[in-house]
């Protein structure tokens, strides 16, 4: 048995892509286990998740993403760019498309600038707060967890956003799990530490649920972080976000958009 795959990344947030546009390759009851096995960086291919490219009845494409802990994510910002590049290169779509996700329909415009592939993603509208958290006088939703003021915002998946003086000074692997598993977030949350670096720029580090560790970049986390600092009046409408894997640009207007690259690393075949 042979299973073709591609390895892509968006700013270092890497994924195994399985093409199921024409037919099922991995049975549904095996998709979670497949992710656990092949996302392993020592015994598998190594990735932050497995993305399945599928047909959709209402959109141009459908994306499913399974994570190393065998959970399924509703959406993934960097993953959207990767599936968009894969589909574009395969001829499944052109410069614009819509992608069905568990978080809703995502619009994408994309193309090459020289050898570099760039995509602009229309994100799901940020939802601020959770009903479990009381509103403060500023209208924000936040709660003190593990000694930090934590803002809650959902950009397709739940996020905790914490503004700090220096992201490098944070003991991420110790602090983030306490916030990720806090009762405030019944389904858990990705945890983003945010440092303001300029008038309209921030640096972030993200601990991702499902991966259960720090990733080099998180698109929905960058969006959640930019939307939060903008809502607090700390930046303008265009926010440059520096992740450990590279830059993203978030446009925070009536419609929130994310702009960033996607790169094909290699293609291969799993044989049994």
- Active-site annotation, residues: 76, 218
DSSP assignments along 34-57, one per residue: HHHHHT-TTTSS--S-EEEEE--S
State the CB neighbour count (10 A cutoff) for residue 236: 10
**Measured between alpha carbons, how far is residue 3 from residues 9, 16, 20, 36 in Å?**
20, 12, 11, 16
Spatial separation of the C-alpha atoms in residues 48 and 40, rounded to whole Å: 9
Residue 249: what are its φ and ψ, rounded to 5°? -120, 130
3-class SS letters over 189-250: CEEEEEEEEECCEEEEEEEECCCCEEECCCHHHHHHHHHHHHHCCCCCCEEEEEECCEEEEE
**Distances in whole angstroms, Cα of residue 247 to Cα of each of 83, 92, 93, 158, 244:** 19, 27, 25, 22, 8
Q: What is the DSSP track for 109-128?
A: EEEEETTEEEEEEEPPPPEE
């Amino acid at each position: 048995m042979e299973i073709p795959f591609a390895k892509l990344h968006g700013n270092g947030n890497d994924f195994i892509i399985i093409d199921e546009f024409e037919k099922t390759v991995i049975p549904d009851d095996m998709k979670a286990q497949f992710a656990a096995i092949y996302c392993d960086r020592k015994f598998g291919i190594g990735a932050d998740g497995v993305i399945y490219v599928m047909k959709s009845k209402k959109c141009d494409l459908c994306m499913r993403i399974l994570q190393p802990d065998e959970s399924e994510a509703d959406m993934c910002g960097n993953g959207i760019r990767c599936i968009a590049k894969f589909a574009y290169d395969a001829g499944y779509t052109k410069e614009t498309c819509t992608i069905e996700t568990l978080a809703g329909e995502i619009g994408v415009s994309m193309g090459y600038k020289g050898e570099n592939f760039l995509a602009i993603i229309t994100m799901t509208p940020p939802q601020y707060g959770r009903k479990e958290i009381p509103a403060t006088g500023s209208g924000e939703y936040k709660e003190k967890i593990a000694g930090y003021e934590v803002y809650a915002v959902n950009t397709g998946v739940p996020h905790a956003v914490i503004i700090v003086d220096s992201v490098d000074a944070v003991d991420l692997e110790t602090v983030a799990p306490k916030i990720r598993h806090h009762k405030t977030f019944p389904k858990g949350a990705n945890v983003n530490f945010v440092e303001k670096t300029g008038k309209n720029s921030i640096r972030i580090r993200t601990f991702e649920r499902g991966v259960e560790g720090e990733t080099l970049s998180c698109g929905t986390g960058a969006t959640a972080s930019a939307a939060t600092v903008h809502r607090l009046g700390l930046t303008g409408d265009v926010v440059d976000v520096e992740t450990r894997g590279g830059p993203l640009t978030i446009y925070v207007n009536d419609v929130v958009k994310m702009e960033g690259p996607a790169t094909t690393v290699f293609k291969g075949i799993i044989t049994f």
